[in-house]
Amino acid sequence: MINSAYTPPLDLIRRPRRNRQTAAIRALVRENRVHADDLIQPLFVKDGVGAPEPVGSMPDVQRLNVRSLLAEVAHLSALGIRAIALFPQIDSALKDPRGKYALAKKNWFFGLIHQVKTEFPDMLIVADVALDPYTDHGHDGVLDATTGDVANDETVHVLCQYSTHLAEAGADIVAPSDMMDGRIGAIRDELDHEGFTQTSILAYAAKFASAYYGPFRDAVGSTTGSKSPLDKRTYQLDPANLREALLETRLDEDQGADILMIKPAGLYLDVISAVRASTTLPVSAYQVSGEYAQIHAAARAGWLDLAKARDESLLAIKRAGADIILTYFARDVAQSLKG
């Protein structure tokens, strides 16, 4: 017979559970926290005065017109979010194979940036630099006439001009997301040459050819309408490669990037951690549309708790070594941090 009335204590010097027994002690020993200061809210914007349009594959995300964008920025700012990343949805009538509208003086996106900056001078504006919102084929650059592949140097040339237009409109940070070779150095030169020495470059340094960008492509309308997803493997990184990611981040650092980014985030925690160990620059990570959609979908099915899964996903990204996180959850997280 086992006497269950008395169990003599195990002879243990270390009882890690002592540090977990109450909420207060757990808070005291907590190693990582997500703070509103760390977060960048990506926002989709469109021209005109039409009502905000929901993005089907991204619950609670909408394409905003200028007026609703300004209201959203006021709201975010009140919640303590200090940076937004803007992505334009360009009307398909304005798209062409070369993405010429990107450099058009009358591109409404420049006016919109200017308006946000004027009304909210303290809100940091991150502007994506790539041609995919503007090209009718949805690739991030212009295509080589013979190979059909994205032409590197020609694309860089266009992106340099686009970057100065964005800086001139009021973007504080330009974020090349195109993965062309040599674009960080070329953009830095062009910005400096045009007098924008204080415009920062957030380099999408290690951007993988991921299946998780699908909902984003719906949101900006860069899908071509064909069933098969766009293949960007000649410029975005192979998901199998960690060393190559370190090469890319080193090149971007050497060419003058102010902040290095890894993208996607949750599936690439090892890359975040390796990049963190290899640089003294701030490291950011982009929790992409597919990561967001996945958590929402499971929560909708009643399979995951939305807020808990959201918070855990972001904490993991911080723990891996990201200082900064771009996430569609930024607003909700800031809201819940406020209590």
Kindly list the residues in this chain that would bind ligand PBG in the complex (CB under 6 A).
Answer: 128, 130, 132, 140, 177, 213, 216-217, 232, 288-289
Indicate which residue of 207, 227, 318, 338 is catalytic.
Answer: 207
Nearer to ligand PBG, 110 or 134 (CB): 134
Question: How far apart are the C-alpha atoms of 208 and 86, rounded to whole Å?
Answer: 20
CB closest to ligand PBG, residue no = 216
Nearer to ligand PBG, 196 or 216 (CB): 216
Nearer to ligand PBG, 140 or 253 (CB): 140
Query: Is 46 labeled as catalytic in the residue annotation?
Result: no
Q: Kindly state the smallest distance separating residue 216's Cβ from ligand PBG, in Å.
A: 3
Give the Cα-Cα-Cα angle 14, 16, 17 (nearest 5 degrees): 125
Query: Is 106 labeled as catalytic in the residue annotation?
Result: no
Indicate which residue of 263, 308, 318, 338 is catalytic.
Answer: 263
Q: Kindly state the smallest distance separating residue 220's Cβ from ligand PBG, in Å.
A: 8
Q: Kindly state the smallest distance separating residue 267's Cβ from ligand PBG, in Å.
A: 12
- Count Cβ neighbours within 10 Å for each residue of 212-243 and write b for 16 or more, e otherwise: bbbbbbbbbbbeeeeeeebebeebbbebeeee
Q: Kindly state the smallest distance separating residue 100's Cβ from ligand PBG, in Å.
A: 17
Token pair recorded at residue 203: 């380099």
Q: CB of 158 within 8 A of CB of 177?
A: no
The sign of the torsion formed by the CA atoms of 207, 208, 210, 212 equals negative
Question: How far apart are the C-alpha atoms of 11 and 112, rounded to whole Å?
Answer: 67
Q: Kindly state the smallest distance separating residue 95's Cβ from ligand PBG, in Å.
A: 14
Nearer to ligand PBG, 246 or 293 (CB): 293
Token pair recorded at residue 222: 């860069």
Question: How far apart are the C-alpha atoms of 198 and 196, rounded to whole Å?
Answer: 5
At residue 171, what are phi and psi to the nearest 5 degrees?
A: -65, 135
Q: CB of 36 within 8 A of CB of 80?
A: yes
Nearer to ligand PBG, 241 or 278 (CB): 241
Token pair recorded at residue 263: 């993208």
Catalytic sites, residue numbers? 207, 263
